[in-house]
A and B are shown apart, each in its own frame.
Chain A
C-alpha cells in the first residue's frame, strides 16, 4: 500500500504543473455540475446483457445533492449493473477526495477530449480508479471508466443534448463485465432445454453487458423530496 502511495506521489509530482491545469478543469466541470441541486427526469432504459431478456422500460430518475441518486421504474423492476447506475457523474466528482492526473487526450465519438484519471485519496472508497474523458470547451464528461473493488470495471458514455448546459446527458450508456449466470435445471424445473433458446443473444456472447438510458424531460432544481431515496 505504501509503495503504491509512494508511486502515486512520484507520479503526481512529475506532472505537477499539468496536474494543476487538470485540477482546474475538473473543478470547472464540478462547478458546472454544481448548478444542479436536484433533478428528476424521465427516461427509457434498455438493458442489453447476455443473460437478461428485458424490454425497454420507462424509468424515472431522481437526483439530489450531494450524491443521492435513484432510478425508479413505476411499480416495476429494473435490472442494473451492480453499483453502476447509482454512481452518476455528479457523485463521481462531488467530493474533493481525489487526486486528478492528466493522461493525455483522446477522441470520443468524434469529439476531442482530455483524459483525466481520478484516484480517490480515501482508502475505503470502493472506487479504485476513474478515468474521465472531458470535452474541455463544453465542460462535459463524455466518457467515464470506473474500476471498483467489488463490482469490476464499468464504462459510462454520455451523449448530450438540450440539457448540456447543466452537464446533464441525453443518453448514458453503461458497459460492464458480467459474470456467468447459471442455475441448475432442477431448481428452475426446466426439462427440455437442450438447444440454446437465446440464439439472438448468443451472437453477443462476447459483448459486455450494456444498459442504455435515454433521458427526456429533465426537471431541474424544483426540489426532490428526500423520501424518494429511501
Chain B
C-alpha cells in the first residue's frame, strides 16, 4: 500500500511540474497580453494600467500560483477568442469526448482481446504470416482516413447515419449511440489490431520459455499449455499496454472529432491552436495530461498487484 501512496505522490508531483512547464512555455510565447488587447494605438500609460490590472507585472511564479489556485477552484481563466470562461467553454465538450473515448475503448477490448487470444494459437508458418500481414494493414490505416471511408460507405452510400449531424447521448441515447459508434469505430479499429499484435507477440515470446516445456512434460495438452500456463503470463504485459491505448484513444479523438464534426474538446483544441487561444490550449493539454498520467499510474499499480514477481513493498 506504501507503493500506491508513493505512486500517487509521484503523479501529483509530475502534474505540478508539467503544468508549470507548459504554463511557462505559453507565457513565453504569447507576448504581452495587455498590448494585444489594447492595440497599437494605446498610450504607454494605458498599457501600464492594464498590465497592472491583469497582474502581468507580477513575477512568473506568482502568476503561476494564481493560475493554479484558480484551476483548483475550477477557474481556468478566460478564453481570448470567445470571451467566455474556459471552464464554461469546456464543460459540455468534455462529456462528449469522454463518451467517444469510452465507447472506443470498449470496442477495442471487445474486438482486440478475443481476436488476439483466439489467433495466438495459430502457429503454422503460413497462418502466422497471413494473420501478421493482415494485422499490419489494420494498424497502418490512419484513423482519419478510416473515418472518411466510414463516412463515405456507412454515412453516404448506405445512409446508416447522417454525417455531421451529431446527436448528444443525453438528448437521445439510442440515436446518439447510433451516431457515436461510427467515429468510435474509426478510432478503435487500428488500435484493436495493435492490441491483437501485442497479445500475439507476447504469447509468441512465452513460447520459447522453459516453463512451457515443463508444462508439456507434465502431460498438458496444447490447449492447457496455451490457456492455463501461457495466457496469464502473456496478459500481464497487456495491462501496461492498455495505458498506451487510452492515450492513443484520446489523441485519436482529437482528429476524429474533426472528421465527424463532433463538438468535443479535440475540436476545440484544434480551433484554439489555429486561433492561438492560449488559456484554452493550456487547459485542454493539462486535462488530457491528467487523464493519461492517471491511467498510467493506475495501470502501474495494477501491474504490481497482478504480477507476483514484482513485490508491492519495494
Partners in one complex: no
Binding site for B on A (CB under 8 A): none
Partner-A contacts on B (CB < 8 A): none
